[in-house]
Structure 1
């Protein structure tokens, strides 16, 4: 799943019914994701090969511009040399992970696979990916942004390379903010406190005479967007989706008093939130502030022009935080042509190709050299703030006040973690008690970890 999710949220369902449904789905997902892990020993028996021959590649069929760019890149790579022939297969994004899981169980994975970042750790646990450290030059790894490197590293080894990352913050309508006399953080590193943010929303509401002037990104749908979009509240409050010291439990960190209080604060914003399920409020001028991701910049910029400002998410006490990470590439451990697969992957990591994909989908480049050349993310460019946030990655440890971009947890338990938090967020947004919702999520996550014996490698 991408950060934006895939389906619209459906309001007005009872929390208890949703909890039973989500728990059942999460349990089924956990079984599917972990099946076979404990019955295997060592990685699947692939081989490096001689760096020539056919390479099979799977790619999620997301934005049309992404598909077209990759199809062109495959065609141009094949035409540029005769040693490696890339064969590309596009799979629907909505069912992509399910198809990968089915192929994994059948032993029918391609040589080169793309996948949403946080699922990497489950794939590694299932021994479906091979480390890239001996397949890519050191200078390629060193050129990754800190955020991208953190996402692709697990247990001290690099398992994936990404051509693009992600960024999020608050988009502001400068004209509406100025008319209301709102002061807003203009430099990277500056941010509102949660109280200052709430005061800004109220000032705009008073000036415009409209109560619902805040877009919380609900038009992005549910699914992974809930985790990607609202985990920054947890991190900024000093908590986390799970304790990253040993990934053994979410208790005391996901449901800590500070996190509970932070979500109560978010609930207090509800009267000012435009439901905006069609994502039109900010563009049409109904809302002055939009909690959203990089993918909205092209649309928002076209609509507002010079009146668009890019601001950080509010600080709940542990510093402003943002999600990061997106789709990336890994070479499967079952591949018999890993060197040849690496050749195509290295082609995709060239600045020209990284920038082509970044321009196609609007995402931040995942390499430092391409970031500097980017028309949107380079120094002094419109989305420089998102680039600065990624440069201040929290890495693989617990988020601290000094870092900003936080990878989703590096654990095989992630599929259940994200499912449990998505349900908690929906309960909280619908008016449920934050402590009860987060306690339920903790119980679900910790039970999954216990059921899987702490996800110890067999």
Structure 2
């Protein structure tokens, strides 16, 4: 299980929201934190270097902390003090961003509230010609009102993994539509193996992909709801079908982000992230393949979420220019360390297209297929999609998938919640 997921009760994408975007929302009301652990700065007087504080959440992938310290030590224009934040990173970041004793540079995910409350500064000026080399989705998810506020550090796409041998024995091909996937899961289900594992809650993690596969999205480019329609309702009803068919695995020893259920043969198909591929490959060799969430129908499209972490500069920093210069050095110019960070401790895609294209570990087999799927069908978070909206969406999925509620009525409730939030954010 990757430590980029600190709470098993949330989906990975919800979790990223709550450890990143939620920090910005909480900052509207949270009290200022006390000692955040930030070192004092020399302020640059007398020709001495400033000291920048860089915050990371506590990764569990071996070597990540040592790598972060190595990068900081290698930077010569400023002193960089790395703070490795254990526990509830989102809450601690929320307090830190309110205070001048918080981080100069930090990782999170962008939420429009971070911009409206003046917590982050635009970073357009540090990209230069490198902008064209970044995955367009990684720019899109970090842009508000035409300004770029964060530099993506890693891309974490999610896909379906399937056992080739089980598919071959059953005479099944990788599904092209969601109905194909429903039929495959039902066929592959036996008294010993379930056809599919999409999380112990029955499939909430696939709510976003289901919507996107119908052609819908959370919000349009001009921040209008784009889900309250018959096609989205149909897409969510398909998720209920796995539960109704009893082809979905429930109560696995570990949740969807851990490949244990798949490699132990508890399910023939599992939804999880690229980060799980090394463990799957070690256990199964070549007996697996990957595919994106299938399209709803001929009018739909394949889809997969492309999450990850992003680097920001705090507007409260006393050394904004120095902080921006460091971010440029590490996450724009320093290709060697970017590849090191993505592929030598975990298994992720570098946001720089040129790095993804040449990274040896991503050039062949299923890894190369995930890179292509991410480029063609990856969908990123909308900065205006708030935690309250995400909670409403989770409520919809719980009611539809497990309880068999009418998706049309649930979508109407969500539409009301989202429009109320949008009115709060944008007047």
Q: Please give the range of the TM-score, normalised by the shorter of the 2 chains.
A: 0.7 to 0.9
SS of 1:64's partner is coil
User: What corresponds to 1:7 in structure 2?
Assistant: 8
* C-alpha distance in structure 2 between counterparts of 1:354 and 1:294, whole Å: 17
* Residue pair 1:8, 1:277 contacting (<8 A) in 2 also: no
2:387 is aligned with 1:415? yes
Task: Identify if the C-alpha distance between structure 1 residues 239 and 137 changes in structure 2 by more than 3 Å, giving closer, same or farther.
Answer: closer
- For the 8 Å contact 2:52–2:105, the answer to whether it is kept is yes
Matched, 1:405 2:378: yes
Do residues 122 (structure 1) and 97 (structure 2) align? no
SS at match of 1:288: strand
Distance 1:246 1:9, change over 3 A: closer
Aligned partner of 2:179 in structure 1 is 195
Match in the other structure for 2:247: 272
Which residue of structure 1 lines up, in the alignment, with residue 70 of structure 2?
72
Give the alignment of 1:267-306 within 5 angstroms. Answer: 267-270=240-243, 271-279=246-254, 280-306=260-286
The answer as to whether partners of 2:151 and 2:311 remain within 8 angstroms in 1 is: yes
Q: 2:194·2:268 contact (CA, 8 Å) conserved in 1?
A: no
Distance 1:95 1:226 in 2: 23
Post-superposition offset of 1:383: 1.3
Q: Deviation of residue 5 (structure 1)?
A: 6.3
User: What is the CA deviation profile of residues 281-324 of structure 1, one whole-angstrom value per residue up to 9, with x for unaligned ones?
Assistant: 21111211112211221221111111011112111132001111
The count of aligned residue pairs is: 388
Conserved? CA contact 1:215–1:275, under 8 Å: yes
Distance change (3 Å), C-alpha of 1:32 and 1:414: same
Distance 1:174 1:389 in 2: 19
TM-superposed deviation, 1:108: 3.7
Among 173, 176, 199, the residue aligned to 2:166:
176
Counterpart Cα distance in 2 of 1:322 and 1:416:
22
TM-score by length of 2: 0.82
1:247 & 1:9 partners in 2: Cα distance? 24
Secondary structure of the corresponding residue to residue 416 of structure 2 = helix
8 Å CA contact retained: 2:111, 2:386: no
Shift of the 68–316 alpha-carbon distance from structure 1 to 2, 3 Å rule, reads farther
- Choose the corresponding residue for 2:104, options 111, 118, 125: 111
**Contact 1:132–1:158 at 8 Å: present in 2 too?**
yes
The yes-or-no answer on 1:262 pairing with 2:235 is yes
Q: Does 1:139 align with 2:119?
A: no
Q: Which runs of 5+ in 2 are unaligned?
A: 12-21, 31-42, 255-259
1:33, CA displacement in angstroms? 4.9
- CA deviation profile, 1:354-393 (whole Å, cap 9, x unmatched): 1111111211111112101223323x3431222123323x
Q: Check conservation: 1:51, 1:337, Cα contact below 8 A.
A: no
User: Cα RMSD (Å) of the superposition?
Assistant: 3.0
Q: Is 1:355 the counterpart of 2:376 in the alignment?
A: no
- C-alpha distance in 1 between matches for 2:84 and 2:324: 19
| Residue number in structure 2 paired with 1:236 | 213
Is the CA contact (8 Å cut-off) linking 1:144 and 1:367 kept in structure 2? yes
- 2: CA distance, partners of 1:3 / 1:150: 22
Closer, same or farther: CA 51–409 of 1 in aligned 2, 3 Å: farther
| 157, 161, 169: which one aligns with 1:167 | 157
Contact 1:231 1:323 in 2 (8 A): yes
Partner of 2:223: 247
2-side partners of 1:68 and 1:286: how far apart?
A: 36
| Residues 148 and 325 in structure 1, CA contact (< 8 A), matched pair in contact too | no
Pick aligned residue for 1:149 from 125, 139, 142: 139
Give 5+ residue unaligned stretches, structure 1: 11-27, 37-47, 185-190, 393-403
1:431 aligned to which of 403, 413, 417: 403
Task: Check the 8 A contact 1:59/1:89 in 2, yes or no.
Answer: yes
Distance 1:376 1:420, change over 3 A: farther
Check whether the contact 1:145–1:367 (CA below 8 A) recurs between aligned residues. yes
Residues of 2 paired with 1:303 and 1:60: CA distance? 29
Q: Is the 8 A contact 2:240 2:404 kept in 1?
A: no
* Structure 1 equivalent of residue 426 of structure 2: 455
